[in-house]
Amino acid sequence: MEADKQEFLNEFGDSYGYPDGPRGIDEIRAAEFKRLDGNGGLVYLDHAGATLYSELQMERVFKDLAANVYGNPHSQSDSSSATTDAVREARQQVLDYFNASPKDYKCIFTSGATAALKLVGEAFPWSGSSSYMYTMENHNSVLGIREYALSRGAAAFAVDVECPEPLDFGSTSPSSSFEFSLHPVQRRNEIRHMDGGSGDDVFNLFSFPSECNFSGMRFNLDLVKLIKEDSQRILRGSPYGKGRWMVLIDAAKGCSTEPPDLSKCPADFVAISFYKLFGYPTGLGALIVRNDAAKLLKPTYFSGGTVAASFADLDFVKRRENIEELFEDGTTSFLSIASIQHGFKILKSLTVTGIRRHTASLTVYTKKMLLALRHVNGAIVCTVYGNHASKVPCRALGPTVSFNLKRQDGSWVGYREVEKLATLSGIQLRTGCFCNPGACAKYLELSHLDLLSNLEAGHVCWDDHDLINGKPTGAVRISFGYMSTYEDAKKFIDFIKGSFVSTQISIGNGHLLTTRAFSFSSEGCQKRFPSAVYQLKSITVYPIKSCAGFSAEFWPLSSTGLRHDREWLIRSITGEVLTQKKVPEMCLISTFLDLKQGKMIVESPRCRDKLQITLDTDSSLVPTEDIELHAQRCTVHHYDNDVNQWFTIAIGRPCMLLRSSGSNNTKTSGVCREVNARTNFPNEAQFLLISEESISDLNTRLSSGALKAAHGSPVQVTPTRFRPNLVVSGGKPYAEDGWTSLQIGNAHFTSIGGCNRCQMINLGHQSGQVQRTKEPLATLASYRRVKGKILFGILLRYESGDDEENVKHDDSWLQVGQEVLPNSS
């Protein structure tokens, strides 16, 4: 056993790996999660998003479904009765898991935790005297209940809840130890009767998560009794505290390691999601509701299964009295419900206590290792959120670590950079705000002004704007599940160390700087070497965005770059611009332009006939529309159904071909770097240039890396993998990085910087099949990373004077073999 693991076991061996369970963690992983090893040693660390199903669990599910016949439960047949029995047993298993007596609680199945929360919001007895109070750390699905409250005249406000010291598991806190800080009250309806609604007819709702899905901090469940019994003290005489308080717990995140014990904390509503408990089934959740609270909920809609009788032509409906039947609209997902018993068997065999201790050992170890990381200059590498030494939300940590990284100069590392490199290393994690805007703003110290500024800068959920004005807009999150191992945590820590911890003092070295700040020999420097004679080796035109291009010995220039380059694109019928990132098969579509005949010829292995498109068309006869792409407003032309049908067959999904009108130079907002140049549909610039020497150096590194890792045959790449327009040769590797401008023949170009590479360069194809690997991006990331970008090749702007007439003469052509004259900084 390696020394690092032995040291880990010396500290956590009593908790790690289920020492008192029927099987150890190594046996569980080897027998029930073989697919992780089968995917190249995948490290899955997003259990807060969705945990993994066990292969043994799925075998039992399939065996059950294959052996039994389950019919629609809204009938009296034998198969329906079998379903009714399975659903009844499943309800009891859910209640048992939360130690909830059927005398006090009922289990209502929903399509997920969000649907359970929505049910409460829709059916809650809001009035103009009601209040909705919720903690800042809450999922958007909980915040969304606010809309129902406000629309019905109720007040809504957020609170921060803290207590002086974290409490041990199972302990009870005196109410005086809690501290509540109220945020401004929100109201939409100014008509509110403060003096007449203080009795039992006023109902208020308080919502909090059992565990924050952003930081992993657990809330003390004593909050339930505190709110229900002592709300006036908490709200300090506020008029918004009158009436009866009910409590909702969002347990979707926390119940996998610490389900609320409803015999001790009498919450009125608890929302859960089963795929976060044991991976399968998805699309199924539950609302556990106290019987007396359920009687107060007033559903509006009725459906099959929720009514005892209704008249089609009269305003009459008699609803069912059974709580579950009253709220389960339509036919429940009964096969999924029948399947949860097999997930609970897994959890029961390991015990919740065993799972909590196992995942806690990995969480504490990982957090400890992250906090100890230092750059060579002593600077802190990692900021962990929810790790305050004093005031915290009152309980221990869940199996979640949320953090951001810093460089040795104190600047932040963007979370998308971490996610991109983690994916290349076979590590699956989560980034962003995790649908928890309150916790995100709180821990990242983002003010309302910061959030509005970020929104105006174009930042929305799930985008790539990870740093704005030098500050993070979200975080990196890893989370452990019952099947996670020490090896998972160790590989993650090694990844952080190897990718983000500087081992040498950062020294400027041209453009070749990496986050790890390795120094480079002069062979990697970007200077213009007097003895170098550069030559244009190839010209490639890509008529259709993200499809294969063709090489030409000579080609005319235009004010948008190479004539007809990326002048067409393929769009889905829903309006999404399609690229190889989402449709890798697009690389199998080949194109060729015959300027003499004025045609574009397109071929696909999926289409029997070639497609020919005329280049010169009467634009006045072609339908047009305006679209936005890469921060540009573009006018595009449409094609007829025959053309669109050909491309639909070629890529295997409904789509249409669009052509640029040639006037796409209207800047809106966003990421495009080419503000001052006319373009068709490129991502960033008119031209991409790379050198043969840089390709050769990359291939040498790929070969060396493959040998060191004993991977067998190394990946070797050609220039076409990077989709360059121009390939040059004659100098040192990466000399082009230092070029500020260049001349080819009579044409002048300006460099606008390096090209940031993405996983699209990892797509290769052989024998008509698309293959996705980790190379060459993983190797490039090891030595070509600059401030979150993996650079390879340079982007160019053609200095045409934006006068189309100037580029229609014979000297406005590029030709293979021409001398390339660069200028360096």
Q: What is the pLDDT of residues 36-71, one digit of tens each?
A: 987 778 999 999 999 999 999 999 999 999 999 999
Q: Which helix (H) or strand (E) holds 729?
A: strand 726-729
Mean pLDDT of 5-18: 95
Cβ partners under 8 Å of residue 10, min gap 6: none
Q: In this structure, are residues 60 and 71 in contact, taking their beta carbons and an 8 Å threshold?
A: no
- What's the distance, Cα to Cα, between the start and end of the chain in Å? 53
Say if residues 254 and 209 touch (Cβ distance below 8 Å).
Answer: yes
CA–CA gap between residue 429 and residue 46 (Å, rounded): 5
Closest CA to 569 of 582, 560, 579: 579
pLDDT in tens, 756-814: 998 889 988 766 677 888 889 989 998 998 877 899 999 999 997 655 555 454 458 99
| Average of per-residue pLDDT across 480-497 | 97
- Cα–Cα distance between 391 and 394 in angstroms, integer? 8
Q: What is the mean pLDDT of residues 87-112?
A: 97
Which amino acid is it at 434?
F
Mean pLDDT of 404-424: 93
Interstrand relation of 554-558 and 813-815 (parallel, antiparallel or unpaired): antiparallel
- What's the per-residue H, E or C state across 342-406? HHHHHHHHHCHHHHHHHHHHHHHHHHHHHHHCECCCCCECEEEECCCCCCECCCCECCEEEEEEE
Average pLDDT value for residue range 549-565: 94
Most confident of the ranges 561-575, 650-664, 695-709: 561-575
Q: How far apart are CA 743 and CA 534, in angstroms?
A: 11
* 557 Cβ neighbours under 8 A, 6+ residues apart: 563, 747, 798, 800, 807, 812, 813, 814
Instruction: Tell me what the mean pLDDT of segment 21-39 comes to.
Output: 92
The more confidently predicted of residues 294 and 514 is 294
pLDDT per residue as tens digits for the range 436-448:
999 999 999 998 8
| Alpha helices (runs of H) in 33-165, residue ranges in sequence order | 34-38, 55-67, 78-97, 113-123, 140-143, 145-151
What are the residue numbers of the active site?
Answer: 435
Residue 691 CA to residue 588 CA, distance in Å, equals: 25
Q: Which residues contact 7 (CB under 8 A, 6 or more apart)?
A: none
pLDDT at position 487, please?
A: 96
Task: Report CA-CA distances (Å) from 398 to 112, 219, 249, 604.
Answer: 21, 10, 16, 52
CA distance 369 to 490: 9
What distance in Å separates the CA atoms of residue 297 and residue 327, rounded to the nearest whole number? 9
Q: Report the pLDDT value the prediction gives residue 763, as an integer from 0 to 100.
A: 86
List the alpha helices (DSSP H) in 613-687.
641-651
Q: Rounded distance, CA 588 to CA 602, Å? A: 11
Q: Do the bridges between strand 400-406 and strand 382-385 make them parallel or antiparallel, or are there none, so unpaired?
A: antiparallel
Round to whole Å and give the CA distance between 757 and 342. 44
To the nearest 10°, the Cα dihedral for 441, 446, 449, 450? -110
**DSSP secondary structure letters along 494-523:** HHHHHHH---S----BTB---TT-----GG
Q: Write down the mean pLDDT value for the chain.
A: 87
pLDDT, average across residues 248-269: 96
Q: Of 404 and 709, which is predicted with more confidence?
A: 404
> How confident is residue 235, by pLDDT bands cut at 50, 70 and 90?
confident
Tell me if 287 sits within 8 A of 94, measured CB to CB. Answer: no
Tell which phi-psi region holds residue 165, choosing left (phi > 0), alpha (psi between -120 and 50) or beta. beta
Do 5 and 13 touch, CB atoms closer than 8 A? no
Which pLDDT does position 150 carry in this prediction? 95
Amino acid letter for position 276? K
- Asked, as a colleague might, if the bond just before 399 is cis with ω within 30 of 0, I would say no
The answer for residues whose C-beta is within 8 angstroms of residue 700's C-beta and 6 or more apart is: none
Contact 482, 350 (CB under 8 A): yes
The dihedral over CA atoms of 581, 662, 808, 673, expressed in degrees to the nearest 10, equals -50
Cα angle vertex 62, ends 61, 66, to 5°?
120
Cα–Cα distance, 260 to 777 (Å, whole number): 45
Tell me the three-class secondary structure of 27-48, residue by residue.
HHHHHHCHHHHHCCCCEECECC
Mean pLDDT over 352-367 rounds to 96
Name the pLDDT band for 506 (thresholds 50, 70, 90).
Answer: low
The answer to whether the CB of 773 falls within 8 A of the CB of 766 is no
